Every structure is written in C-alpha cells, then in structure tokens.
Amino acid sequence: MNNEQQLSHLDRRGEAHMVDVGDKQVTQRVAVARSKIRMASQTLIALEASELKKGDALATARIAAIQAAKKTSDLIPLCHPLPITKVSVDLQVDHDLPGIITHVTCKVLGQTGIEMEALTAASVAALTIYDMAKSLDRGMVIEEVVLLEKMGGKSGEWRHDDHS
C-alpha cells in the first residue's frame, strides 16, 4: 500500500491510532446523512398519529439523533470530539416506502470532518423509531444509512451519486 492509499487511522505498522489534526486548518464543515426505516403500513399510520404506547416517536427520534451526534466520539473509536455548532433532523413520513426517511445535517467549525456525527445521528434516529414501535412491528427494517454529502476541509465538497 503506498502513502496515497494508506488509511489515516493506521500507522506504518498497521496499528490503529487517532489522527493528529492539530496542523489542519479550521474551516466550516458540513455533512448530510440519511437513513430509512421500513415498516408495515398500519405501524406507520399509528406512528404518524402519535398512537404508540411509548409516545411520540418522531419527537423522540429527533432528540435521540441530536444526542447521538453529540456523543459520537464516545461511540466510535478514534473519532475526535467536536464542538458541533448545529444538528438539524428532518423526519419524513413516506407512505410509499412505507416508513420514515431521516435526513440529518451536522455543522462544525473545526479541523476535522463531521461525517461520523451525521451518520451516527441518522442511525440512532432509525433505531429510536424501531424501539418506540417494536411492540406493533418487530419486522421493521433499518436500511440505507448513507452519507449524502460533505463540505469543507482539505478535500472540499463531496456528494453521493444517488443524492436525492
């Protein structure tokens, strides 16, 4: 493996280490991630009407996603703790899926990217919805946790080919 192909979290001996970002320029960084949770139509109707025994799943999932973004460095080894400036969570009811599509946007003014925070938040939003609705539908499927775009830093902008 040459230097261009070397993974940043592995040293020359192939051992894991936390990347030193101290010399990187502080820039505005943004990441957008999406998750989907597919469920039975009846479950979606109950969720949308806030008729779940555990309460309002969408409001709870929104809070859980924000908390997850803030705790990402506690969950993902070698991930830097970041002074997040913004987390926005958009939960869309999709009757064609049927299910919930979550879009999370995370922002930071920092020296390293915020992709992991956005992905973690999108994942935890879907997991929270599953937890809140599992008494009605244990067959729900969490799928397509994906980074849609990132902006800022040395590598600039990146966009997933299937960004919709």
CATH number at residue 130: 3.30.70.640
> Is residue 6 situated within a structural domain?
no
Q: Which pLDDT score, from 0 to 100, does residue 113 have? A: 84
Residue of 32 and 76 predicted with greater confidence: 32
131 assigned to active site: yes
Q: Report the phi/psi class of residue 49: left, alpha or beta, with left for phi > 0 and alpha for psi in -120 to 50.
A: alpha
> Is residue 95 situated within a structural domain?
yes
What share of the chain in percent tops pLDDT 70? 84
Question: Has 78 been labeled as part of a binding site?
Answer: yes
Q: Which pLDDT score, from 0 to 100, does residue 155 have? A: 83
Residue for token digits 């008729």? 51
User: Total structural domains in the chain?
Assistant: 1
- Express each pLDDT in 145-161 by its tens digit: 999 999 998 888 999 98
> Is residue 20 situated within a structural domain?
no
Question: Has 58 been labeled as part of a binding site?
Answer: no
Choose, from 131, 137, 161, 162, the residue flagged as catalytic.
131
Domain that holds residue 83: 27-152
CB 106 within 8 A of CB 125: no
> Is residue 93 situated within a structural domain?
yes
Question: Has 80 been labeled as part of a binding site?
Answer: yes
> Is residue 21 situated within a structural domain?
no
pTM equals: 0.86
